[in-house]
Structure 1
Amino acid sequence: MSGNTNGTPAGEYWEDFYGARDHVWSGRPNVALVRETDGLPPGTALDLGCGEGADAIWLARRGWRVTAVDVSGTALERGAEHARRAGVADRIDWRRHDLAESFPTGSFDLVSTHFLHSPGDVELPRERILRDAAAAVSPGGVLLVVGHFGPPPWETDHDHDVRLPSPEEVLETLGRPGREWELLVCGEHRRTVTGPDGQPAELTDGIVELRRPAG
């Protein structure tokens, strides 16, 4: 999330990250996405930082037409293959963007980003990206921003060099939206996960969900 322009390019970092292993994520959609959007009527969705595509595929299975964006070509290739196996390849448009340099065009009924974080030496102007994300929401559409609100317990302070903003700080980034948005959620949510050594742990996510009025 750093605005540092002299750090490691995001594409280089995340391509190495995904290329170092056969798969990274579980293949299950993010809990907050399921909880916060399951009742929305399907339309067009933009999934920013889609990774290996679990969220995009979950949305596509529910009738959404999804533009799935990531900086890693390897992640996008895996997502496209998973979508093909799931039978929803025709409902997802996979696009490679370094969001520090370019942003997908168009407007969307849902703009979703989960865990848009990078180490402090990786170029990621997170605040600007979130403002661009808000601008891409269609009238009547929803913006969903989910981020880590604290490091996992198995990481030390030395391991974790990413600043993790609170939901209130995310709202500040978005300019404390007032009448032009309806605030649906601004808070924290805890979830149970399994750590790298099989240990159970509890993580806290910060969630901001806004709806742009239709009229």
Structure 2
Amino acid sequence: MTVFDRQWWEERYRSAPALWSGRANAQLVAEVAELPPGRALDAGCGEGGDAFWLAERDWDVVAVDISTVALDRAAAEAERRGLSGRIRFEQADLTAWTPTGRYDLVTAAFLHPPSAVRGPLYARLAGAVAPGGTLLLVQHDPSDAAVVPRPDLPDLYATAEELAADLDPEQWDIITTAARPRTVHHPEHGGEVTVHDAVLVARRH
């Protein structure tokens, strides 16, 4: 079984000059565009696309990732864009890391921790949301396995409803649980296909 540890991610990022597009993910844009800016935690920030988008809209961002290669690229790009004063980058293994402080927005996109890790990891992230703040979790919906190649590790995927089930209803209002469609290019034949993002948006009381 593949172990997605720090070494795996460092090699994954080293294998390409830019692993991702550098753009913010569509679900972050859809869910956060109308929120007033404040303090944000971007957990699993990669090369920084979401953090840049937030900082450009006056959020103060703490951006955390396991890979120093990714973080070095993100920090260089933040400097180029004039955003260094709004983003603090931090290296950490999210499976063993607890955020400090409280945030108006905590977002984690496409982390896909295995089920034994998922609950405790997301509970720590949820614990960092300030009263009135927003939690946004985005994953590949399990249905994508029939549409595009994904690692044959079904334990990594969860529906938005499964993610929401771990939140205490006395502390949270569930705003959105959705399998939201998105058009992508198929990595093998190049044609356009529709995949779905599992999107959970919740607001702390």
Tell me the TM-score normalised to structure 1 length: 0.87
Report the count of equivalent residues.
201
Q: SS of the residue aligned with 2:93?
A: coil
Q: Contact 1:15–1:73 at 8 Å: present in 2 too?
A: yes
Paired position in structure 1 for 2:33? 38
Paired position in structure 1 for 2:68? 73
In 2, Cα distance between equivalents of 1:183 and 1:100: 24
Aligned partner (choices 72, 88, 92) of residue 87 of structure 2 = 92
Q: How well do the aligned residues superpose, as a CA RMSD in angstroms?
A: 2.0
For each residue in 1:58-91, what CA deviation from the matched residue of structure 2 results, as whole angstroms up to 9, or x when unmatched? 0000000000000000011111111112111110
Paired position in structure 1 for 2:128? 136
RCO (CA 8 Å, sep 6+): is it higher in 1 or 2?
1
Paired position in structure 2 for 1:111? 106
Q: Contact 2:164–2:174 at 8 Å: present in 1 too?
A: no
1:203 equivalent in alignment to 2:195:
yes
Q: SS of the residue aligned with 1:100?
A: helix
Which amino acid in structure 1 is aligned with residue 126 of structure 2? A
Q: Which runs of 5 or more structure 1 residues have no equivalent in the other structure?
A: 1-5
- Higher normalized helix content (fraction of residues): 2
Which amino acid in structure 2 is aligned with residue 146 of structure 1? V
For each residue in 1:21-63, what CA deviation from the matched residue of structure 2 results, as whole angstroms up to 9, or x when unmatched? 1111011100000000100000000000001000000000000
1:148 equivalent in alignment to 2:140:
yes
Per-residue deviation, 1:160: 2.4
For each residue in 1:68-120, what CA deviation from the matched residue of structure 2 results, as whole angstroms up to 9, or x when unmatched? 000000011111111112111110000001012222311100000011125x6
In 2, Cα distance between equivalents of 1:81 and 1:50: 14
For each residue in 1:118-168, what CA deviation from the matched residue of structure 2 results, as whole angstroms up to 9, or x when unmatched? 5x6xx9822211000110000110000111103362317xx4224311111
In 2, Cα distance between equivalents of 1:19 and 1:125: 26
For each residue in 1:161-198, what CA deviation from the matched residue of structure 2 results, as whole angstroms up to 9, or x when unmatched? 24311111111233xx2132111101110000123243
Which amino acid in structure 2 is aligned with residue 72 of structure 1? S
Q: SS of the residue aligned with 2:179?
A: strand
Query: Aligned in 2, Cα 1:154/1:179: closer, same or farther, shift over 3 Å?
Result: closer
Q: SS of the residue aligned with 1:85?
A: helix
In 1, Cα distance between equivalents of 2:152 and 2:181: 19
Per-residue deviation, 1:9: 6.0
Moved segments of 4+, more than 3 Å: 6-9
Q: Contact 2:136–2:201 at 8 Å: present in 1 too?
A: yes
In 2, Cα distance between equivalents of 1:91 and 1:53: 12
Quote the sequence identity (%): 39
Q: SS of the residue aligned with 2:105?
A: strand
Tell me the TM-score normalised to structure 2 length: 0.91
In 2, Cα distance between equivalents of 1:9 and 1:209: 26
Out of 100-109 and 38-47, give the one that drifted further: 100-109
